Each structure stands twice: as structure tokens, then as C-alpha cells.
């Protein structure tokens, strides 16, 4: 990989993080209205996911350009986990100040920000799993067969730990989402529950990415993995899209609209993740002629998010119920575009295995 191209791919998630933080703070401080407080905090903290994606990008790129050091091996995953932990802690602190009755803007913002922290934790785990990414193209050149993990691969206990982290995080995310859905007696609980489901779907999709990377590093990636993990992400994405559309079609109250549009955006993020999981499956021990076209998928999802945001912004002129959704969709578009850089890096790193 060309050095300056590597700089560009690392700059993209940082630029998207700056966009989320800058735009989020602008929305947050523009007015004292409740909608501004929710949208501003959520968009600002979407930047945390972009920072964790930067950690993943830097971890892989520095291996590809031969500059990966022992400090890098620790620094980037730790940075990701610190950002994720800080985001989750901030969301928890908002929740502690929210009414226990499940009402008010803090209740929604707290749950969503906490969920963003959980997603960031999964992405930080992707960075941790990618610290041995250079083994993937090496292993992919080897013929099929049952082999022991390479000597420089993760220890069995470390591999299990890395795969377990996103599973545990997803369980926590589903727990919060289901609890709010069961207790959906207020608009705030309704919104937190449905958006929480979307966040849990993303955490679940990221299980497929982490496990795919770990199993390829350990040289234990088999035909079942090639099918299972991409389809897991597809199911998560389709579920989120259908869930959002159903909410918009039902439209029994104005508070159905924000989670409806946001769920569609979260579904598009799942399909951006699919580009990574699918690419790993497509180029493992085989040649895939269209591998360099796979990065187009997150570009398409990013554009879809932004075009949908433009539509919702227009609707918000006459319907204040979609004010938050319009702003959040912009942040989700930034997440999708950040994933474009990661997929491009993966394509560059794995193409040598063709």
C-alpha cells in the first residue's frame, strides 16, 4: 500500500469523527430544546465509533506498510477501549440522572449513548483482533486442511476472550433493548427500546466480524464460517431495515417516526459491516475478481443515509417529530463512510492472497 494512500485511509475515520463531534455540538448548543439535547449528544458520541474505527484502520495499515511496533499493538486497542468505556460511562451517567419512570429526554439519550459505547467496545475488539492481521494473507496462501494455529497467532485463551467480548456486549445491549420494549409504557421507553434493538443488532453483526478475523488469524476459518458470519450480518441488517419500515408504516403516534428512520439507518450500518465480513469470506483461499468493488457497498450505504437524511430534514420543516432522526442519519452516514476506509484497507491487505 502506498504510504500517502495509507494516510488518507487513516484520515477518513478521524475526519468523520470530527464531523460528528462538530455537528453534534452545534446541534446540542443551538437551542435549549429537548430534541436538540438528544440529537446533539447522540451525534456527538457517534464520533466515538469513528475513533474506534480509526484504531482498527491504523492497526491494519501500520502492519501493511511495515511500521507496526509493540507500542502500536497496545496503544490502538487500548485507545479504542478507553473511548468506548468513556462513552458508555457518559451514557450511564445520563441514565442515572433520568427519571426512573422512563420519561424525558435524558432517558432516551442515556440509553442511546450507552448503546453507542457498547458498539464502540465491539469495534475496539475488532482493532484488538486485527493486531495480528498480517497472518491472514499468509494463512490464506496455505492449502486447505486441518492445521495448528501459527506459532505467532493468538493463544487459545486470548482467541476465546476476543470472540467472547462482542458476544457479552451484545447480550447487554439486547438486555437493555428488550427491557425497554417490555416496559414500553411511555414514548421515551418506546424510543429507547426500538433504537436499542437496532444498536443490539449492530453489536451482534460485529460478532461476525471479530470471529472472522480471529479464526483467519488462527487458521481455523472453514467453509461453515464462510457462510455463517456473512449471513448473520445480512439477517441483522434486513431485520433492522424491516423493523424501521414497519414502524413508519404503522405510524400510530408521532414518536414512531424517529425510531423508524433511525432503525433504517442502523440497518444500513449493518450492511456496511457486511462488506468487511463478506470480503474476508470471499477472498479466503480463493480468487474473487470483484474484490476491489466491495468497498463500493459502504459508499452506497453512506450515500443512502445522507439522501435519506436530506428527505427527513425536508419533512422536519413541517413535522418536528423527525427532527432527531434527520440529525442522527447524518451521523450514521459518517459511520458508513468510515467503514469504507476499513473495507478498502482489508481489500488491499488481502488481495495479495488472491
Averaged pLDDT in 10-residue chunks for the chain of 354 residues? 85 97 96 92 97 96 92 97 98 89 87 97 97 92 76 94 98 96 89 96 98 95 94 98 97 92 97 94 79 87 96 93 96 96 83 48
pLDDT value for 183: 87
pTM: 0.95
139-176 in b/e burial notation, b at 16+ Cβ within 10 A? bbeeeeeeeebeeebbeeeebeebbebbeebbebbbeb
Contact 21, 40 (CB under 8 A): no
pLDDT value for 351: 61
Scan for cell 473511548, then name that residue: 83
pLDDT value for 58: 96
Scan for cell 450505504, then name that residue: 301
With CA atoms as reference, report the closest residue to 277 among 322, 210, 181: 210
**Please, is 120 exposed, middle or buried when counting C-beta atoms within 10 Å of its C-beta (0-12, 13-18, 19+)?**
buried
pLDDT value for 310: 96
Q: What SS3 state is found at 290? A: coil
What string of DSSP letters covers 178-234? Answer: HHHHHT--SHHHHHHHHHHHHHHHHHHHHHHHHHHHHHHHTT---HHHHHHHHHHHH
pLDDT value for 205: 98
Amino acid at each position: 500500500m502506498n504510504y500517502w494512500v495509507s494516510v488518507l485511509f487513516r484520515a477518513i475515520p478521524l475526519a468523520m469523527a470530527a464531523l460528528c463531534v462538530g455537528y453534534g455540538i452545534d446541534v446540542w448548543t443551538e437551542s435549549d430544546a429537548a430534541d436538540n439535547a438528544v440529537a446533539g449528544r447522540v451525534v456527538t458520541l457517534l464520533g466515538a465509533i469513528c475513533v474506534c474505527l480509526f484504531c482498527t484502520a491504523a492497526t491494519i495499515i501500520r502492519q501493511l506498510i511495515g511500521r507496526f511496533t509493540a507500542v502500536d499493538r497496545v496503544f490502538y486497542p487500548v485507545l479504542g477501549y478507553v473511548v468506548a468505556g468513556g462513552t458508555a460511562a457518559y451514557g450511564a451517567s445520563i441514565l442515572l440522572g433520568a427519571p426512573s419512570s422512563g420519561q424525558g429526554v435524558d432517558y432516551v439519550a442515556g440509553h442511546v449513548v450507552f448503546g453507542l459505547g457498547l458498539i464502540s467496545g465491539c469495534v475496539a475488539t475488532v482493532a484488538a483482533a486485527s493486531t495480528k492481521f498480517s497472518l491472514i494473507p499468509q494463512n490464506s496462501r496455505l492449502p486447505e486442511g486441518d492445521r495448528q494455529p501459527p506459532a505467532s497467532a493468538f493463544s487459545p485463551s486470548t482467541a476465546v476472550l476476543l470472540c467472547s467480548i462482542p458476544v457479552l456486549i451484545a447480550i447487554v445491549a439486547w438486555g437493555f433493548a428488550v427491557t425497554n420494549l417490555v416496559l414500553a409504557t411511555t414514548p421515551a421507553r418506546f424510543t429507547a427500546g426500538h433504537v436499542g434493538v437496532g444498536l443490539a443488532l449492530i453489536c451482534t453483526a460485529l460478532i461476525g466480524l471479530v470471529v472472522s478475523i480471529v479464526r483467519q488469524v488462527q487458521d481455523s476459518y472453514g467453509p461453515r464460517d464462510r457462510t455463517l458470519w456473512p449471513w448473520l450480518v445480512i439477517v441483522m441488517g434486513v431485520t433492522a431495515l424491516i423493523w424501521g419500515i414497519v414502524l413508519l408504516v404503522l405510524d400510530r403516534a408521532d414518536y414512531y417516526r424517529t425510531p423508524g428512520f433511525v432503525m433504517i439507518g442502523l440497518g444500513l450500518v449493518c450492511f456496511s459491516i457486511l462488506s468487511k465480513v463478506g470480503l474476508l469470506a470471499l477472498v479466503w483461499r480463493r480468487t474473487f475478481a470483484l474484490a476491489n468493488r466491495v468497498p463500493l457497498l459502504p459508499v452506497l450505504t453512506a450515500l443512502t443515509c445522507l439522501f435519506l437524511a436530506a428527505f427527513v430534514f425536508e419533512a422536519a420543516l413541517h413535522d418536528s417529530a423527525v427532527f432527531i432522526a434527520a440529525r442522527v442519519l447524518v451521523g450514521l452516514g459518517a459511520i458508513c463512510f468510515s467503514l469504507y476506509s476499513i473495507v478498502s484497507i482489508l481489500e488491499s491487505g488481502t488481495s495479495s492472497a488472491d
